Amino acid sequence: MAHAPSEGEADRPAILVITSQVVRGGIGGRGVVFALERLGFPVWFLPTVLLPWHPGQGRGTRIVSETADFSAICADLAGSDKLPEIGGILSGYLGHPAQAEAVAGLVKAVKKVSPEVPYLCDPVIGDLGGLYVPEETARSIRDNLLPLADISTPNRYELAWLTGRDIETELQALSAARRLGPERVIVTSAPALRRNSISNLLVGPRGAIAAEHGTIENPPHGTGDLLSALFLARHLEGLEDEAALVRAAGSTFEMVARSVRKGSSELLYPSEQQAVARPMALVSTRRVLETATAR
């Protein structure tokens, strides 16, 4: 069924998405582009790598553009007279360390034309099992992209690696987030206070907010991609941090729950797209008090 744009969607800005592309599944750019367009945002999509599916689904061919070619297309975009269309930028998985430098140049070009455009850097580098990109790629994201970011969405492991800190408690996560650099940091899979819960900890200019919901066993891949895209979209809609976080976390949780309930190992974007637009899932929020040392 076609989605009828609601009032105000027609003039929503484009969002530049720079991340992976899979042929099958809902991770990376596949899920991000669908979610953003479902909310009425036009998307410029620059793939960093082409895969048949998520690597967790089995081995497959990996296609990464030559460094010179990727840099050239970034330069083409940076020189476009259409750059004023872009109202937000999101970067995720990179296929090669040198891509970070080219992406940084493109981000700077957009911000030169429109300084107020928010850039969300999702540093997709690893998880509890360790780094799943070469360390050089992780360092390149840390050194080239995070300094430009207004928003970042690392998971708990990524935040620990990027800051060189141990993160076992909520306050440790908060302190590390303050030192990461961007004005707003959302720590996905942060330590939760409630049992059998997951926390998304937003550390921003007006304090820290934790949004918690129940855990789901064996969730599909791609939840970080979705939460990042939805938070940026809600931020661009003008929602305050807490409201944007609740909507993004609620949609992500509901999408996961509905997909798992149907026995799927992938996020079921087409059939469960209502979770993206109007989530019904309950997410509890609370303010997190900061100590002087956290800042």
pLDDT at 2 over 50: no
Per-residue pLDDT reduced to its tens digit, 206-246: 999 999 988 888 888 899 999 999 999 999 999 999 999 99
pLDDT on residue 254: 94
* CB-based contact 1:29 (threshold 8 Å): no
- The structural domains of the chain, ordered by start, are 11-294 (3.40.1190.20)
pLDDT on residue 193: 82
Report residue 205's pLDDT band, with 50, 70 and 90 as the boundaries.
very high
Report residue 5's pLDDT band, with 50, 70 and 90 as the boundaries.
very low
Per-residue pLDDT reduced to its tens digit, 11-65: 899 999 999 999 998 899 999 999 999 999 999 999 999 999 887 777 889 999 9
Q: Please choose, from the candidates 115, 120, 98, the residue with its C-alpha nearest in 3D space to the C-alpha of residue 230.
A: 120
Q: Cα separations (Å) of 255 from 116, 243, 252, 269, 280?
A: 31, 18, 5, 8, 10
Percent of the chain residues topping a pLDDT of 90: 80
Q: Please choose, from the candidates 102, 187, 190, the residue with its C-alpha nearest in 3D space to the C-alpha of residue 148.
A: 102
CA–CA dist 139, 126 (Å, integer)? 12
Count the residues in the chain.
Answer: 295
pLDDT on residue 117: 98
